[in-house]
Structure 1
Amino acid sequence: MPLPEQADRRRELVAKLLARKAAPQGVTPLPRDGSPLACSHEQRRIWLAQQSDPTAAPNVTLGVRLTGPLDLARLAGTFTALVARHEALHTIYTLADGEPYQSVRPGLPAPFEFVDLSGLPAGEREPAALTMARAASAERFPVTSGPLLRLTLYRISADEHRLFLVCHHIAADGGSLAIMADDLAALYSGAQPAVPAVQYADYAAWSAERSARRLPERLPYWTERLRALPPPLFGGKPPETAARAGATAMVRVDREAVNRLRRVAGGPTTPFVALCAAYVVLLQRMTGHRDVTVGIVSASRTRRELESVVGTFVNMIPLRVAQPAGQSFPALVTRVREAAAGALANEIPFDTLVSRAGIARIPGVHPVFQASFVHREDPKPPADWDGLTAQVWDHEVDDATLDLAMTATPRGDEYELAFTGRVTRFSPAEIHALPANFARLLTELTAST
């Protein structure tokens, strides 16, 4: 197809997608009469995982560095208002007939703690705040009674504070943290953001109906795609403990290194596809497996009315890639690109996939895949706080759901590549060697450019 026709076709497809996203047959509010509401597939997956392992769903966390004269009472009121405006933040979960349900409880408290570290020697305050925040990130919230989140403010000095929010993953995901951060800034500054037209329980009902309708046509893809899966990626016997303790190591590489990887891959290649293909090569070398399955993340905010809704929208999708010995890296990239397109086009809830596609379960081993790859967007700076300067407060949380996870985050002219591994599978030395090994692999794969 000539280039002008390709451009016209792309514009036509984009217009159709935008129209579909704004179409009226979307998510609509359900009656709120106090009775339990159905959980989404995402919530159900987290609930069921926690029944056998309370640590199965790591919390999500948000850190903000605030500089300036902060009003403590005003911040406490802001947090209460935040919890009130998002139902997922004041919801509890109960079991009936073997299935979890959610119940909205407007009266749930909004736990807010203040920790004054200004009495410590100046050089010890920031490290103390980080240590306490990391410990707080492991808090286990009672889903049957709530509350499911906690806000802590660490005072470093009169005009220096660190805000740290911890929330159960059944109530929020990474995208929700960005919404909550913007809301906190707006509410503290005296603005009144519009209340979301729908809430998470409305999405849960809508998504369940949509998934049931799509399942018959999509399940055959997964039954075929995941047939005869190879043994677990990292082999060995399952860990004796289900503990999720992990260790994280990271490296930063120039964005140009990722662009070179895209060029050597050939064709129109996104950073996600190029880095995921390189990660597959790393896993092949680590394990000796040619047939590798990696979990990738799909966010289900496919409707415009969901853009301001707090909740858990993340679904994991298997990406199975088999590379014959001697195949070139560009050929592998093509396989990754095709596998990702097929997986996303046939997405179904992961718990449904496991239960309906005939996946064999091995105690202590995550089904289908034991490694994941996540490509994040370039983080935007925090919204403006009235009278304060706000910056991201980086805090490392080592909580490993899978045996190994790689996260790629663009940061200006660089890419931050982080590896988190379970210490029951890898030694800390092995985990801390991974970033340098991957950086060398990038150099090797792009040596010809």
Structure 2
Amino acid sequence: MTELTDRRRELLTRLLARKAAATAIPPVPRTGEPLECSHEQRRIWLAAQATPDAAPPNVTLGLALTGELDLHRLSVARTALVSRHEALRTRYTAVDGLPHQVIRPVQPVPLELLDLTGLPEEEALRLARAAAGERFDLERGPLLRLTVYRLGPREHRLFLACHHIAGDGGSVALMAAELAALYSGADLPPPPSVQYADYAAWSLARAAERVPGRLPYWRDRLAGIEPLFPRVPPARGGSATAVVRAGREVVDGLRGGGPVTPFAALLAAYLVLLHRLSGRGDLVVGTVTSGRARRELEPVAGCFINLVPLRVRVPDGFPALLARVREAVAGALAAEIPFDALVSGLGGHRLPGVHPSFQAAFVHRDDPEPPPGWTGLSARVWEHEVDDASFDLGLTATPRGGEYELALTGRLARFTPAELADHARTLLAILHAPDA
């Protein structure tokens, strides 16, 4: 009986291995020729070519490091980090009007050190905010910058900035964790066997299968939408951000004790704000999803986020709105396709100064945590604020301990800083009394 059981277990193991091999992301031959970009990369590249201000902002992370920082060790760790991830040493070139990836060999990567000894920390913060908005050269690279601001012998601020085509929020968190491990001499697993170029080819093939069947949903769902706000010049005035904070218990109160996520509750409150600002009851808000659903993609650096439009007609009463938000989210996720395929599939002309499909966005982020393992150093997340002018108005919700940080970012061509501050306070009032 034991022998038979062992035999069945062996057969089952082989069957599972075959199934995993059949569904695994296959490697793409590295011949030196340009490789196709993913839909995510295409969207970012095309936006950068057409209207630089409409391209997604750089992805950033700041860390406060206290202790004796070894700059040489940090520089070596950065070079080792880039060698582990092809996306960090990839350049982009146009082939027949579309971007393609060119993976480069590993090169030593210098650090930028700015000595601010004797100056207040606010100066480092000001410089980091300015650095966050600096553009990268996609054809030449590099697409990752590390800057160290020295405030004193034992106080440094480490600032990572990555072009969105090479990474997303999850990627930057991964980079920070691996950088800490490499700096500390910890053993890391071998570089991922699946790299971003492999994902790009696989995801293009998957999208080709899915888009034809799912596009009719979006044509019906987004039919007849109108701009939320009047048009303004696309590259005028930059942006500003107003921040308010709400306790987690306030957000939990919005959920009404039902099967409603904080994402849905905060999005519903944001829709109430947009309804009041625009006077419209038929609203389209964009949000982001992550394509890291597969385990082999968890250790891979690259851009996996997709833009998804959510159309909601605002009813009377917040509970009814919550139900419609849940329905809209479920339908959009079930029919999700790459955003650039959605835009091209819908046809029509993009209005100058108006983001295709939506002008308002909502992003719910994870609580940032400093990576452990900085030998001889203590690390914490260094607060900094990066404005995003990709949309006329955007809300970013970030849980931090026992409260939510709500950052309302608007284009200055549309809103003054004082108006944004007023709107942020209105949002806070809506959170406390959504039906008022």
Alignment of 1:300-339 (within 5 A): 300-324=291-315, 327-339=316-328
After TM superposition, give the deviation of residue 107 of structure 1 in Å: 3.9
Aligned to 2:6: none
Partners of 1:259 and 1:296 in 2: CA distance: 21
Do the aligned partners of residues 111 and 365 (structure 1) sit closer, same or farther apart at CA in structure 2, a change above 3 Å counting?
A: farther
Structure 2, unaligned runs of 5 or more: 1-15
TM-score by length of 2: 0.92
Matching of residues 43-442 of structure 1 within 5 Å = 43-55=41-53, 56-118=55-117, 120=118, 124-194=119-189, 195-230=191-226, 232-235=227-230, 237-239=231-233, 241-243=234-236, 245-263=238-256, 267-324=258-315, 327-442=316-431
SS of the counterpart of 1:445? coil
Describe the superposition over 1:182-234 as per-residue Cα deviations: whole angstroms up to 9, x where unpaired. 0011000102312112110000000000000111211110011011112x111
Bigger Cα displacement from structure 2, 83-92 vs 109-118: 109-118
**What is the CA–CA distance in structure 2 between the aligned matches of 1:309 and 1:60, rounded to whole Å?**
16
Structure 1 residue identity aligned to 2:32: G
- Counterpart secondary structure, 2:91: strand
Query: Is the 8 Å Cα contact of residues 111 and 150 (structure 1) preserved in structure 2?
Result: no
Whole-angstrom CA distance in 2 between matches of 1:206 and 1:283: 38
Residues 243 and 45 (structure 1 numbering): CA distance in 2 closer, same or farther, change over 3 Å? farther
Decide whether aligned partners of structure 1 residues 109 and 44 sit closer, same or farther in structure 2, where only a CA change above 3 A counts. Answer: farther
Structure 1 residue 344: deviation in Å?
0.5
Equivalents in 1 of 2:20, 2:420: separation in Å? 47
Query: Is contact 1:223-1:358 (8 Å) kept?
Result: no
What are the Cα deviations for residues 309-348 of structure 1, in whole angstroms up to 9, with x where unaligned?
Answer: 0000110000000124xx2211111111000000011000
| Counterparts of 1:267 and 1:155, CA distance in 2 | 49
Matched-pair contact (CA < 8 Å) for 1:300–1:314? yes
Partner of residue 37, structure 1: 35
Q: What is the alpha-carbon distance in structure 1 between the residues aligned to residue 329 and residue 348 of structure 2? A: 20
3-state DSSP class of the match of 1:211?
helix
**CA positional deviation for 1:70:** 0.9
CA distance in 2, matches of 1:313, 1:228: 29
The aligned counterpart of 1:8 is none
Deviation at residue 399 of structure 1 after TM alignment: 2.9
User: Could you say if the C-alpha distance between residues 446 and 223 of structure 1 is closer, same or farther in structure 2, counting changes exceeding 3 Å?
Assistant: closer
The alignment partner of 1:65 has SS state of strand
Query: Any idea what the Cα deviations from partners look like across 1:75-128, whole Å, max 9, x if unmatched?
Result: 11111111111100000000111111000001455241011111x3xxx33111
Number of aligned residue pairs: 417
2:433 counterpart SS class: helix
**1:247 and 1:398 in contact (8 A); partners too:** yes
* In 1: Cα distance, 2:367 partner to 2:71 partner: 31
How many angstroms does 1:408 deviate by?
Answer: 1.0
Give 1:28's aligned residue. 26
* Greater Cα offset, 311-320 or 422-431: 422-431
List structure 1 segments (4+ residues) > 6 angstroms apart after TM superposition. none
Partner of 1:445: 434
- For 2:120 and 2:82, the matched residues in 1 are separated by 29
**CA RMSD, Structure 1 to Structure 2 (Å):** 1.7
SS at match of 1:77: helix
Cα distance, 1:244 vs structure 2: 7.2
Amino acid in structure 1 at the alignment position of 2:266: L
2:45 and 2:99 in contact (8 A); partners too: yes
Report the Cα distance in structure 2 between the residues aligned to 1:261 and 1:424, rounded to whole angstroms. 32
Distance 1:108 1:51 in 2: 27
Q: What letter matches 1:259 in structure 2?
A: D
Shift of 1:250: 0.9
How far apart, in 1, do the equivalents of 2:351 and 2:108 lie?
Answer: 40
**Aligned twin of 2:13:** none
Q: CA deviation at 1:267?
A: 3.0
Q: Give CA-to-partner distance per residue, 1:362-416, whole Å, 9 cap, x none.
A: 1121011000111112223322201100100111112321111101111121111
Secondary structure (helix, strand or coil) at the match of 1:164 reads strand
CA offset digits 1:242-273 (Å, max 9, x no partner): 2572111111111110111101xx63111111
